[in-house]
Structure 1
Amino acid sequence: MIEPFDPEKIAIVHDWMTSMRGGEKCLELFCELFPQATLFSLFHAKGKLSPVIEKMKIKLSFLQNIPGITHYYRYLLPLFPIAIESLKLPPVKIIISSSHCVAKGVIPPKGAFHLCYCFTPMRYIWDMYEVYFKKDHNFFVSKFSNLFVNYLRKWDIKSASRVDHFVAISRYVAKRIKRIYNRDADVIYPPVNTDFYQPDYSKKREDFFFTAGAFAPYKRTDLIIKAFNRLGFPLKIIGTGQEKRRLKNMAKPNIEFLGWQPDEVVRKYYQRCRAFVFAGEEEFGITLVEAQATGAPVIAFGKGGAAEIVIPINNSSQKEATGVLFYEQKESSITDAINYFIANEDKFMPDTIRKNALRFNKDRFKNEITNLIRNII
């Protein structure tokens, strides 16, 4: 807990709470730092978050009252600005918003200092608008998205003025904040539980590649599947999401879908795989750090956070390398990267790979957030 701030004078605002993904792992540490703060969110799937989050005092928007909201909330995006503004914050001194959508647009009480830990400006309406809406098969979304996207963009820019200080999760996101909001941002990388994700030296790595994450369009898991369909190497996939059926229908027998799995199982596959493969353009990329923390090499698209996380063998000293980066989001680039990795596989050292991941540990995150708040408030 941070002193001398009164934790009851702090409000934490998070977009929505339906599962423990990367954003929620950051939220969890904010809750550890301020356990007596009130946590505000649009809606909450009770029991789906960690105990640290679930035991917080939680207040939700009117969206929580809509039956089934956690299943089709992405179709209600135009309502999110109204919903976040409907949250009535008490007279707190500090607001910490954990935002990738609308949390940063909460209306602060008079005199409150608003610190926004920004995962990204709303990707659905900016850089990835085409991915999310133009390729969506839902009639309402595809036909009517143009009617509300301009409204959402105007609101997003206007509501950025409610933030006193931005903190970005990567240099990549800091540049996006500057471009869209014309605001500067400090950079504090998200926390990764490197104590939990460790190598298992008692067992040898096995003959399969591995990927994991939500089946969202921008993750480009489809490109990974196409590459492994061509190469024929074993690939195991952990995850679930809106593209589940389409991805399964694409895959050949060498590709195995394992569904959603707890962290203990994910860790086992990190520890056993030849390499972790990722094709999305992520704002950060927590799975890339988790994999490296277990000593696994990474094969990843070399834009976004991956460029700040992975030390590529193709651009650096072989003694420091932690993976292979490719620079075009297409099937042939992935197959070339996998073949390049195989040709250099013996050059990757698990201890070197893990050392790179340790710079993203949880204690470092807590210390940097604590020091920032003390310095700016």
Structure 2
Amino acid sequence: MNFDRVDRKMKVALVCEWLVTYAGSERVAEAILEIFPQADVYAVVDFLPEEERGWLHGKKVHTTFLQKWPVAGKHYKSYLPLMPLAIEQLDLSGYDLVISSSHCVAKGVLTGPDQLHISYVHSPMRYAWDLTHEYLRETGLDRGLKGWIARLLLHYMRIWDTRTGNGVDHFLANSGFIARRIRKVYGREAQVIYPPVDVDRFTCCEEKEDYYLTASRLVPYKRVKLIVEAFNGMPDKKLIVIGDGPEYESIRAIAGNNIEMLGYQPTEVLKEKMQHARAFVFAAEEDFGITPVEAQACGTPVIAYGKGGALETITAETGMFFTEQSAAAIREAVRSFENQNIAPAKCRKNAERFAPEVFRNSLRECVAKWS
């Protein structure tokens, strides 16, 4: 199949979930628009700040009825039970190709038998499937009347999510880890295309300083508090923490004198700290995990929890794994790491596997194959 010919003829729709910030799923959407600049963009809601809209190139985002509902800008997730209904109201009947970028409801758009629907899945709804009980505990919805209402709604979401899997012609997964989730939840096979990481934005640095780095939004599942607890037990080793979020104050309260809390920092500061860190420490179980790849693009090894996407982005030549999410396991991994000699050039080479052009070429091949 001649892709150039298919590309010119196709009328394309790109369906996102909620556009509120420029993050991982938006980077994927940006790369899709680079392949299909003619695509129209749809989303459940769009509250993306003006300064983060450049990747849309002035395109109007077509939204659902939830866009105009009260306090949707700040509390759009409160309308989660209505999102399946909302996404089904989008009329995409005039498109040849529909690409959904989905971690919640985007894959549930309605398409006909003569339309090609490819769904790039960042994850099936985590809170509705294998992380349900963790989600209920962390939100305080594991007991009482509200808890039973939440359980009922999640049950409904699981039924809807399973049914709408039948409306997807081909699944793409952002990692082998997510491909296994797709097989478990939808009973479907998915081709893995790793998400694009802008590795050219980072420069490999051979000169390292004597500190470790972690950087993320400070929320419970990122396990930054665990990393801080681990370094509290290693007062001779310095840790720098970059990021802000609900856990910032509680983490700062327990941080020892060897831990520097920098809060939110602009990209240039993060990049400089990544380039010179002895290693980047990552304790979350992520579907993919962009930050560890960015660290490797800087020539910086990664000490990571050995589960999820990290097992696919970090190799024995570019980092080290710990097998359980505990402070003791992190300390043991750090000590083992210090007996290793990992070359920055190897870290950089590994990161280049996830460059945007690799994503674009892989997606082009899939569309040509399935058209």
TM > 0.5 between the two? yes
- SS of 2:7's equivalent in the other structure is coil
Aligned with 1:121 (options 112, 120, 124): 124
For residues 260 and 61 of structure 1, do their structure 2 counterparts lie closer, same or farther at Cα, with a shift above 3 Å needed? farther
Is the Cα–Cα contact under 8 Å of residues 119 and 168 in structure 1 kept in the other structure? Answer: yes
Q: Residues 1-377 of structure 1: matches in 2 within 5 Å?
A: 3-6=5-8, 9-46=11-48, 47=50, 49-53=52-56, 55-109=58-112, 111-137=114-140, 142=147, 144-201=149-206, 204-232=207-235, 233-312=237-316, 321-344=317-340, 347-377=341-371
User: 2: distance between equivalents of 1:127 and 1:223?
Assistant: 22
For residues 63 and 216 of structure 1, do their structure 2 counterparts lie closer, same or farther at Cα, with a shift above 3 Å needed? farther
Over the aligned positions, Cα root-mean-square deviation in angstroms equals: 2.2
Deviation at 1:225, TM superposition (A): 1.8
Is the Cα–Cα contact under 8 Å of residues 2 and 33 in structure 1 kept in the other structure? Answer: no
Structure 1: runs of 5+ lacking an equivalent: 313-320
- Once the two structures are superposed, what CA deviation does each residue of 1:297-339 show, in whole Å capped at 9, x if it has no partner? 0000111111111112xxxxxxxx1001011112211111112
For residues 375 and 238 of structure 1, do their structure 2 counterparts lie closer, same or farther at Cα, with a shift above 3 Å needed? same
- Once the two structures are superposed, what CA deviation does each residue of 1:66-118 show, in whole Å capped at 9, x if it has no partner? 34434333333222212212222251000000111111111125621100011
- SS of 1:215's equivalent in the other structure is coil
User: 2: distance between equivalents of 1:113 and 1:249?
Assistant: 52
**What letter is aligned with 2:233?**
R
For residues 349 and 69 of structure 1, do their structure 2 counterparts lie closer, same or farther at Cα, with a shift above 3 Å needed? same
**What letter is aligned with 2:359?**
F
**What letter is aligned with 1:323?**
G
User: 2: distance between equivalents of 1:57 and 1:2?
Assistant: 25
- SS of 1:5's equivalent in the other structure is helix
Deviation at 1:245, TM superposition (A): 3.8
Structure 1 stretch displaced more, 239-248 or 53-62: 239-248
Deviation at 1:286, TM superposition (A): 1.1
Is the Cα–Cα contact under 8 Å of residues 298 and 310 in structure 1 kept in the other structure? Answer: yes
- SS of 1:337's equivalent in the other structure is helix
**What letter is aligned with 2:264?**
W
**What letter is aligned with 2:198?**
N
- SS of 1:11's equivalent in the other structure is strand
**What letter is aligned with 2:231?**
F
Pairs aligned (count) = 365
- SS of 1:258's equivalent in the other structure is strand
Is the Cα–Cα contact under 8 Å of residues 7 and 36 in structure 2 kept in the other structure? Answer: no
> Could you tell me the TM-score, scaled by structure 2's length?
0.91
For residues 292 and 108 of structure 1, do their structure 2 counterparts lie closer, same or farther at Cα, with a shift above 3 Å needed? same
> Could you tell me the TM-score, scaled by structure 1's length?
0.90
Structure 1 stretch displaced more, 31-40 or 73-82: 73-82
- SS of 1:4's equivalent in the other structure is helix
Structure 1 stretch displaced more, 248-257 or 267-276: 248-257
User: 2: distance between equivalents of 1:180 and 1:54?
Assistant: 35
For residues 84 and 215 of structure 1, do their structure 2 counterparts lie closer, same or farther at Cα, with a shift above 3 Å needed? farther
Is the Cα–Cα contact under 8 Å of residues 17 and 49 in structure 1 kept in the other structure? Answer: no
User: 2: distance between equivalents of 1:363 and 1:64?
Assistant: 33
**What letter is aligned with 2:6?**
P
**What letter is aligned with 2:348?**
R
User: 2: distance between equivalents of 1:74 and 1:7?
Assistant: 37
User: 2: distance between equivalents of 1:25 and 1:140?
Assistant: 39
